[in-house]
């Protein structure tokens, strides 16, 4: 079986983790600080604040804006459910723009249509590893004095016109086991704003500014040195990992380009894609479940990220803080998307095997 993702950590990770275990300093300490410095450098942000997962990164980032009940944020309907859950956890009301097929991310014009006098922030999602259109989104945010919080959980090191995602506003990243960079569970928040960084550091540590000096009702959002040790060696190898993912994506696109009706993902001009996922849209009318099952029979793993717009589940249907809108592009994309293996652990010949299987199943 060629899996959609594989976690394989090497001897450098084992050595670094062992170092932490032997140090006796296993909670948040110097290795978390090292991770923050290294990640801030990767993204090009002044500050990076590590937290315990990507969802809490989003919750903390939204909480740092100091919203009032009824304040609204606008996000993408085509994302992992965590984006929506974090917004609700932070106490905001959510509206949804639609997406564009080209980058699977927020369509800036659709965002404009959702702005009300309660809107406080836009939360673009850099889905699959490619930046949203941050030029247009930043312009709309500036025009309406809105904050930007970026969900970069899948886009570590992605760039838009040379600028790292996570530097257009407050950036939120996940280090879950299967993300491009991992700590098992982990998150980080990036910002150029000294005050927001300071607030986030206090918030993640029980609201404590100095010992027993509590300036807010905070939380325990801390990451541990044990977890940070897992990612430090991965940062050393990240450029090579991205090279491999880019080469795999290019090879898949070359081998699949002549299949009628199959929509292939592309890196748009001015953007640096980090290929967390390689996601195609099946030709109209193809039965996706049957396609996925046939691929599995041929030994190819695949994934559906994501099968429906996030608001389209019963548990959110009657909530006053989840305001639905028409999202025809997201509806269509969610119904046709399939992600194929693109990761750095593919073996020689795997790309050929994957492409041949896709071709064979679609020809039936």
Ligand X SMILES: *Cc1c(COP(=O)(O)O)cnc(C)c1O
> Which residues from 29-58 bind ligand X, rule CB under 6 A?
53-55
Residues near ligand X (CB under 6 A), total: 14
Determine the interface stretch with ligand X among 151-159, 188-196, 245-253, 341-349 (rule: CB under 6 A): 151-159
Candidates 98, 150, 151, 272: give the one binding ligand X (CB under 6 A): 151
User: Is residue 89 within 8 Å of residue 59, measured between CB atoms?
Assistant: yes
Smallest distance from ligand X to CB 309, Å: 14
Identity of the residue, 178 or 325, whose beta carbon is nearer to ligand X in the bound complex: 178
Determine the interface stretch with ligand X among 9-17, 148-156, 223-231, 312-320 (rule: CB under 6 A): 148-156
Beta bridge mates, 173: 188
Determine the interface stretch with ligand X among 9-17, 79-87, 196-204, 261-269 (rule: CB under 6 A): 79-87
Output phi, psi for 163, to 5 deg.
Answer: -100, 135
DSSP 309-327: -TT-SHHHHT-TTEE----
Is residue 187 within the footprint of ligand X (CB under 6 A)?
yes
Identity of the residue, 177 or 247, whose beta carbon is nearer to ligand X in the bound complex: 177
- What is the token pair recorded at 88? 């609700």
Candidates 79, 183, 191, 267: give the one binding ligand X (CB under 6 A): 79
Identity of the residue, 177 or 198, whose beta carbon is nearer to ligand X in the bound complex: 177
**How deeply is 183 buried, as exposed, middle or buried, from its count of CB atoms within 10 A (0-12, 13-18, 19+)?**
buried
Is residue 77 within the footprint of ligand X (CB under 6 A)?
no
- Sequence-distant (≥ 6) Cβ neighbours of residue 45 within 8 angstroms: 164, 166, 167, 171, 190, 191, 192
In angstroms, how far is CA 247 from the centroid of its own chain?
Answer: 21
In the block, residue with structure tokens 């760039």: 159
The CA distance from 146 to 152, in Å, is 18
Map residue 54 onto helix, strand or coil.
Answer: helix
135 flagged as catalytic:
no
Determine the interface stretch with ligand X among 28-36, 97-105, 147-155, 290-298 (rule: CB under 6 A): 147-155
In angstroms, how far is CA 360 from the centroid of its own chain?
Answer: 32
User: Is residue 121 within 8 Å of residue 149, measured between CB atoms?
Assistant: yes
Identity of the residue, 51 or 147, whose beta carbon is nearer to ligand X in the bound complex: 51
- From the candidates 120, 179, 255, 308, give the one annotated as an active-site residue: 179
Identity of the residue, 125 or 262, whose beta carbon is nearer to ligand X in the bound complex: 125
Identity of the residue, 55 or 110, whose beta carbon is nearer to ligand X in the bound complex: 55
Q: Considering only CA atoms, which of 253, 67, 269, 276 is closest in space to residue 157?
A: 276
Candidates 125, 165, 235, 280: give the one binding ligand X (CB under 6 A): 125
What is the rounded radius of gyration, in angstroms, for the C-alpha atoms of the chain?
A: 21
In the block, residue with structure tokens 């991310």: 105
Smallest distance from ligand X to CB 83, Å: 5
Beta bridge mates, 281: 263, 337
Beta bridge mates, 220: 205
Smallest distance from ligand X to CB 178, Å: 8
Candidates 20, 32, 73, 82: give the one binding ligand X (CB under 6 A): 82
> Which positions from 242 to 261 touch ligand X by CB under 6 A, shown as an x/- string?
--------------------
The CA distance from 289 to 61, in Å, is 37
Smallest distance from ligand X to CB 311, Å: 15
Identity of the residue, 83 or 114, whose beta carbon is nearer to ligand X in the bound complex: 83
Smallest distance from ligand X to CB 255, Å: 27
Indicate the DSSP class of residue 156: T
> Which residues from 157-186 bind ligand X, rule CB under 6 A?
174, 176
Nearest 5°: CA angle at 192, between 198 and 152? Answer: 100
Which residues are designated catalytic?
179
Interface residue list for ligand X (CB under 6 A): 53-55, 79-80, 82-83, 125, 151, 153-154, 174, 176, 187
């Amino acid at each position: 079986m060629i899996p959609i993702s594989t976690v394989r950590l090497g001897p450098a990770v084992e050595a670094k983790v062992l170092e932490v275990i032997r140090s006796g300093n296993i909670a948040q300490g110097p290795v978390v600080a090292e991770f923050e410095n290294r990640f801030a450098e990767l993204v090009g942000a002044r500050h990076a604040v590590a937290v315990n997962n990507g969802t809490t990164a989003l919750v903390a980032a939204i909480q740092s804006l100091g919203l009032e009940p009824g304040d609204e944020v606008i996000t993408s309907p085509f994302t992992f459910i965590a984006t929506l859950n974090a917004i609700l956890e932070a106490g905001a009301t959510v509206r949804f723009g639609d997406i564009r097929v080209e980058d699977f991310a927020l369509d800036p014009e659709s965002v404009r249509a959702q702005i009300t006098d309660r809107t406080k922030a836009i939360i673009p999602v850099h889905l699959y590893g490619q930046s949203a259109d941050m030029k247009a989104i930043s312009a709309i945010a500036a025009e309406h004095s809105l904050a930007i919080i970026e969900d970069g959980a899948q886009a570590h090191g992605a760039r838009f016109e040379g600028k790292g995602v996570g530097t257009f506003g407050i950036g939120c990243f996940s280090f879950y086991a299967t993300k491009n960079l991992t700590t098992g569970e982990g998150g980080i928040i990036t910002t150029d704003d000294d005050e927001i960084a300071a607030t986030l550091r206090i918030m993640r540590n029980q609201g404590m500014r100095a010992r027993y000096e509590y300036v807010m009702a905070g939380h325990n959002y801390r990451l541990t040195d044990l977890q940070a040790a897992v990612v430090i060696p991965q940062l050393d190898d990240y450029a090579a990992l991205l090279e491999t993912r880019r080469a795999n994506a290019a090879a898949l696109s070359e081998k699949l380009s002549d299949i009628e009706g199959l929509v292939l993902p592309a890196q748009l001009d001015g953007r640096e894609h980090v290929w967390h996922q390689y996601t195609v849209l099946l030709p109209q009318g193809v039965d996706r479940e049957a396609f996925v099952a046939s691929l599995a029979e041929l030994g190819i793993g695949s994934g559906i990220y994501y099968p429906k717009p996030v608001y389209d589940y019963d548990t959110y249907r009657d909530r006053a803080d989840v305001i639905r809108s028409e999202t025809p592009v997201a509806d269509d994309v969610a119904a046709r998307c399939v992600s194929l293996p693109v990761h750095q652990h593919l073996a020689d010949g795997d790309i050929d095997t994957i492409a041949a299987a896709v071709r064979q199943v679609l020809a039936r």
